[in-house]
Structure 1
Amino acid sequence: MVDNADHSRQAESSQDGSPAASRSSAGLDERTRQKVVAFKVSHVLLSVFFLWLTAVHIVGIFFFAKGFLLARLVLDNKSECAVLPDGQLSKETTGCWHPKCFDRAVIIIIDALRYDFTIPSERFMHEPLQKHYLDNLPVLHETAVARPEHAILLPFIADPPTSTLQRLKGLTTGTLPTFIDIGSNFAGTAIEEDNLVSQLKDAGKTIVHLGDDTWHSLFPGYFDPNMTRPYDSFNVWDLHTVDNGVIEHIMPLLDQTPAGWDIIFGHFLGVDHAGHRYGPDHAAMAEKLRQMNEVLEQIIKRIDDHTLLVIMGDHGMDTKGDHGGESDDEVEAALWMYSKRPLFGRTSKDALMPPATAKERPVGQIDLVSTLSILLGLPIPFNNLGRPIAEAFAGPRSVDWKTLARVEYLAQSQIARYQEHYARSRDLGLDEEAYQGQRTHLRRSTDASKSHQWEEAYYASVEWHKEVITMYRKLWANFNLADMLFGVIISGLSLTFLLLFARFSKGDKAIIATSLLRSAGLGTAAGAAVGPVLGALLPTYFSALAGLGLGASIGGVVAAGIWLYQNRAMKPFRFPSFWGFLAFLFCVTQSAGFASNSYTIHEDTILLFFLTTFGILSLMSSLRQTYQADRILGSYQSVLFILLTRLASFSRLCREEQMPGCRSSFYASTNSSISAPWQLLIPYSVALLLPEIIKAFYRGTASYAGSAGFWIGFCFRVGLSLVAVYWTVDAADNGEWWKEQISSTTLKTINLTLARCALAIALPVGIGTFLWAKPCIDISVVDAADRTDETAAPSRPQLTIFGYANAFGSRYFLLIPALVLAVALLLPPMGQFSITICAWQILCLVDMLDSNALTITSTSQSSIGPIILALLGSYHFFKTGHQATLASIQWSSAFVPLRTIRYPWSPLLVILNTFGAQIICAAAVPLTVFWKRPLGKVGVRGLWNDVVNACLTHALYYATIQVATTMWAGHLRRHLMLYRVFMPRYLMACGVLVIVDVVLVVSALAGARVVGLSVGEVFGY
């Protein structure tokens, strides 16, 4: 409660009926109208400025992503056994498209088996080198030399990036690697497209897997559960557990008579782990290779005449033992195929000896799929781009050109069919010349086949395949370093400009923004004019359209930066305060940490440390405050902030790399919304406690009045109660608790009704309340006759204004519960637990800032508040059940209020579910200005200027993270963990930056305008 006598006297004088008072009132009204107009114009100009900056961010992201993200469209088509790829019915009786050669297969992957690990040292060097990785795995080379009709050893060239996950996809689908496979399955890493394993399953084969458990995330449910033995693959320090497990279980399977299996996939990891831990030139590597040699010798003895044995590496390793890039040592793996029957051959006598180096007679890893498919009597998977390996079909005596030509024709027909469907589904973006060579070689191959010139037909098919692969490699598998560099330049320039404008510019931000927009517009126009010309002159680097975007972005940012410098709108550099340095330290250290996969994987723990550190420092600062009220309130809220941060840490969804040292509190499968029944108590507790918590903060400033009671005390509580009931019904439906009493269809209808009612309360009611509510104040009028104060004038009544001390903050916070309610509906119970703590921490934070005089004002431009809000948003992103991985996206949230996918609502629901914490914290940024801000000291323009400064600082954090992740992802594009760690984190940073930019415009700036006009209308500002 604030008793403001000055304001009371002003209110009384405004009721005076004298002409002078009327003229004064008219003048005041005119000034107020001018202020309101200026306020609205400032909002429009700054919104346009923010949108321009967002557009620059998007252009920078687009350029880097254009050169960095490898994408392809996954076709859902599947090859059929009875139908040949040319559309004719198959007449084969012992196979699908071609007579099969083997009934069973043992396929062994020795992870990171480099080609030079398998051949004698004297084969590729004049003088043998004393390297630990040499001459320890002789069985492969010796068998291929002594019995060439039984075994072949070839360099097996992987397509970069040489990470295990991408290599396994290529080895089973025959496709080139990309990061984004745009297909039907968005929720995980499982391979949904046609592949070798699914064809084996469809053929009724019993498939066994032993070793690396990555196979089970790619092919869930494909392997026989009784014989399959998966092992954790992430402990690179463990050289023996996985290998010993595979050896223990594969030998009894090979000894079975009759065999109860058809296909065995064995994946050894010891060689790869030895490389990561020690490097290839180490005694541990020699030991692992000797162990593999002994195991392979035993397997060779145990297989029968009808079993194909395949030994291969999925990639190699560099001199440090790492892989993931495209150096020769990383892409040159080994492939060895063995049959007890003499089936293999060579196309020339010179090819009888295994290649001395990987530069001689290499085969691509994508060629394995078509080779195994034909040998095992299966159809070639639909998306396969590889061709059959010639040595597997050339014949043990003279070269069987007819068989070679026929299997090449099958693969060629399948690739042509795939190409036709792909071209129809998506514009390849290639010119006519890309197809001309293909058509020529295809015509030659077809004509030669018709005339039975089998050797000519075979080589024509080989040439045709080279043209096709060249085209698709150009389309999918190359990083464009020029585009990546342009993206980094644009993002870096925009970050620099944002830093200067947010933290070093002086004066009215709205006035500066007006001039900046003018300069940026001129620069954009100039850049847009020059860019296409450069694109036409340098088509190798970018097109005319790309030049337009590049020139416009760089030109606009540079022109705006030059204006800042030339017009002396920059403050002189001064060392930041302690809190400013702390905010800078948090941003820089977190950005540097993204260079490490371990720090990126455990980012939530780092954020926990940052927030706890801030809480402790705030507690120390609060204890030093002059006023007792500030000391008590600041200390209490600081301790509470620390405890809430720690409490939220118990809510987490573990990513695979964090196992087994992490325990997830979220559901373990997509068929359950909870991991334990007790979690259903969380939504009810939230509905009971969160409105009371908010009410307590409002009552601390006597602000629980007006619309606050209706919205927070009633509507918000009802909405949260509906959310609680929704998740209870959802759990009952998934768990089939009431299947005898209520059908699943009825439960889903009930849930849709509950969800839509909750959304109606959150959005139409909540946003409507925020837009049209009056300030959360209450006025008490005390008549002269009732007053006991004898010193006051008896003729004048006294006005007591409740909520005056926090008129801005309490009015603006009405927006936050609406967002919390919408996000809570889309999150499972543990996510609601986290988002509730997030809302509570926002209130704690603004009280801490106020107690320590860190609220942004015209005299104090502290950056710590907006930065801590950004850290809170990032922290609770992880605590709401998300990770920086595509697999953690909760796609089911799109169906909470909807039966089917509807655009644009379904994507918006997923975005709100995924980035709800960042959205709420971004919307709360004006609270670092509004909370307990005194009225009357600074005019409306000063208030607006402070809000803009807070929003710019908040955006600065996310822009810094985006630039850091972009640069590290580009620099580490050859890294082992690129596709699992660095690229997903880069994508997350880009998405969050754009979303926060939009939220700051749509919510923070627009909300600040609503509050400014609402409070100003009542108090005359």
Structure 2
Amino acid sequence: MFGRYLLLSVGYILSLLVFQGGFLLKRHELQLFSSCGDVVSSASSSCWIKPSFKRAIWIVVDALRYDFVDPEASGPLPGVSFFQHQMPNLEHLIRTQPENTMFARFIADPPTTTLQRLKGLTSGSLPTFIDAGANFAATSIGEDNIVDQIRSTKRNVTFLGDDTWVSLYPTQFHRTYAMPSFDINDLHSVDSMVLENLFSEIARPDWQLLIVHFLGVDHCGHKYGPDHLEMKFKLRQMDTVIKNITQNLADDTILFVMGDHGMTMTGDHGGDSESETNAAFVAYAKQKIVWNQRHQPSVYQVDFVPTLSLLLDFPIPFSNVGRLIEEFFPASALVKASKANCWQMIRFVQSYVEKQPHLKPHVDWILRDFENGQENDVEKNSVVMRRLQEVLREAWTSFDMALMRVGLISFVDFLIFHLYLLANRSNSITIASFAVRSGVMLLELAVTLGNEAQFIVNALDMILVSSTIFYFVLLLFSRMPVITQRVLAAAVFFVFYCASMVSNSFVVYESNVLRFIIQSIFAFCIYECVVFARQKARKNLNSLSDFAQAVTSDIKWILLCVVATRVFSAFERCREEQVDCEATFFTGSLSAVSDEYEKRIRFLIGVFCLFVVQMRFGLARKRKSNSVIWKLSSASSWIALGAVALHWVLQLLPDAVFQRLQSFSLGCAQSVYVLGLLNCVYAIQSAEDVRLTVIGILHALAPTLMIILGDGMAIPLLVLLALVTSVVNIVQNRSPMSDREFTPPDERLSPDLDTMPGQRKDFSEDELKIRLIALVEERPVIWKAQSDDLKLKDERIKALADIANLLNSEFRVQYDGSKVAREFKKLKYSYSRAKAAGKTGEGADDAKRRKNAFRYTAEMRFLQQNEHAMDKERVVVGIGDEELIYQARPLSSCSADESDVSASQKNMKTPASRTPRKRPRRESGIEDIDRAMLETVQNLTGKLTSEQSGRRL
């Protein structure tokens, strides 16, 4: 047993490791550094080339999107949009001083999280997506970077702004003014601190690079989105700051203004759309800096690193893969700058290929091309650097599909193998299976440790695909405990959803895929309802109107769910790739709504939904309980809903007022979480049945979900809670739908039979009696919690079916509706009398009992008249609505003779003389059931074992 679980666990872990090796690509960091001696300079006073400027002011406006600055931005007219044309002074510089001002599209390499962008802007390296997780736990940079290079040339760097920089460079700054940055509701604290110290620092002469990081624009986007009045204020503030700096800028100083990334219309930034990767880049100086102007230039953010390094003349960081921006260099300096940049990148690639040899074939031909060319050819150097950049970008941003395929197939193979073991109830693994599995895991371990030889990957593909097919076929032909239409439908929907995740289009439109699957499930439920109503009508011989009523009683709720699913599309958040998606004002946060009237409407709708939740679920629980603990729980639920409403009210306040009450707002949300947890625990422990448990849990979780989802999702959340409650009511108020088993009847397994598929055991008479009695005595535990008539009968039918299965006897409870209907025609007069009795004053209960007695008589007559058509060794059970009567014996011994009729049939009275008793109470009913079941088992066992001693099961 332990060996089996150990083997499976190790197999699952290795499969995931192989998959993540191809999916979560990592970049190997080189701890190598550039120096002034790497390049021979023509001037004795310079490091690599003659510097163009002595100092630089580097301003990073977090999330400054390209169209925030673009003077030619299309779309809303000036004065209408809150984010376009809100920086008039910067636009004026771009238009009027083209030789002194450079404006470009600044393209960020995803992921566009702030930490990864800062690493790229200082080291010139490209990130991988796994690096995004480090955005919340920054550590110092170990690679070569511009901050360390400036300090290596005995110059100073001063920093003001986001404390993320201090995490990356804890000891490198000459002076530091930093504040925490993860409170997105705080739009002004960091920026205000920077403004207090910025101009005094500019006046100091002891720095060569001044780094300034403003956070307000990014936080405003996260909180409100770009198209909000607060965004206009922040952009205007940044524009004023830049204007004041340019007016007092020294001649030997260059100013850089840039965004580290962009943002979507909801204020998010991850890297999967142009609005997130396209930032703005502006450079300004009093002297000429644009020597060969391009129309609408675009540069990568990594290109800023070699450009700044050569403008200030310090070594380009060793791990840089960026190309210098040629517009900043005159023709006389461009040749030397391009040559230095190209040699630096080649040195890095040669060192990196030694650590990652699988890249060697991709870069060798590029290096040979460079060696055969002219080093002083600027265009040739630019082509070489662009090709190297493309190879490295593809290596660090593309998935290894071979490893992903092997990991995925391996996981599926181990999963099917695990299911096969469970289906066969096997606690051990054969030596052959263990040998094959061990070999596969050793190969996967080799791949995980870095040996990605093609022959190993091909071998794993062949072995895993063969093993998966082999065990899947075995699983299909194995004896599974239960395979029903419900299970099969659930498996089909689940497999379809999993398969849709391999398609990019299906991922982008995942909401539509889920909506299709949910509606397909509802269609299957409608089919099940029709089948169930038909079976119920056939059993009870109701009219067509009763059948229609039984169908519509459930289908109306299912159709309501279908309509609600379609309505929910109005509350979906739009992805950036969904160009045809139009977001409604419900999808954003309440604080992001700029129109005051819409704010009030949203708030009132949310409060109304809170009230409905409390009245609907709170009163439903009150009718079932009135204890002191329940009163405390009900009071706490009102407090929780009030805290939710108060939390929403605080979001309606102006930002300056909200900042002072932010701690109180956070306390309201935390109190909702605590009260929700306590109410949820109480609901689980105190509920008497499934319905009350579900209602209690939904009532407890509703305030918490509304805090998390926001007031805009109050309507769909309310509808969802109501639909869940309705489904629970439907399921509980009628018996489970009869599952049609695909497993043949003689292949069903008794839960107490410890046998392998395809095997049978011989039991002695005493051993058979012990097993039957143990099976019967276990069943009443299930029956005690049942109160519905039809469900109670179904559970007892299942118990007798297990007995029949244990005795290798066929069990029959489904009757031919047409034949039973013909039997009822013989009783038409008596049935009419019973029906008329209810109309002429006779009690309704008496009429119902007469009707049930007639129905039972018809069923039993049908069984007696058709005994000759039945197979031998059957277990026949007669069922009436008011009482459960058992007739269990092999029909091979039945005859028309009265002496052969079982005791239960002898005690059955005719409809005219019989007065059926009501269903006994639960306590006595269970005792009667136990006694009847034990008698049935003993009679049946005695006959079978005496007639067929030693029969194989």
So what's the TM-score if we normalise by structure 1? 0.43
- State the structure with more CA Rg: 2
- Flag the structure with more relative contact order, 1 or 2, with Cα contacts below 8 A and sequence separation at least 6: 1
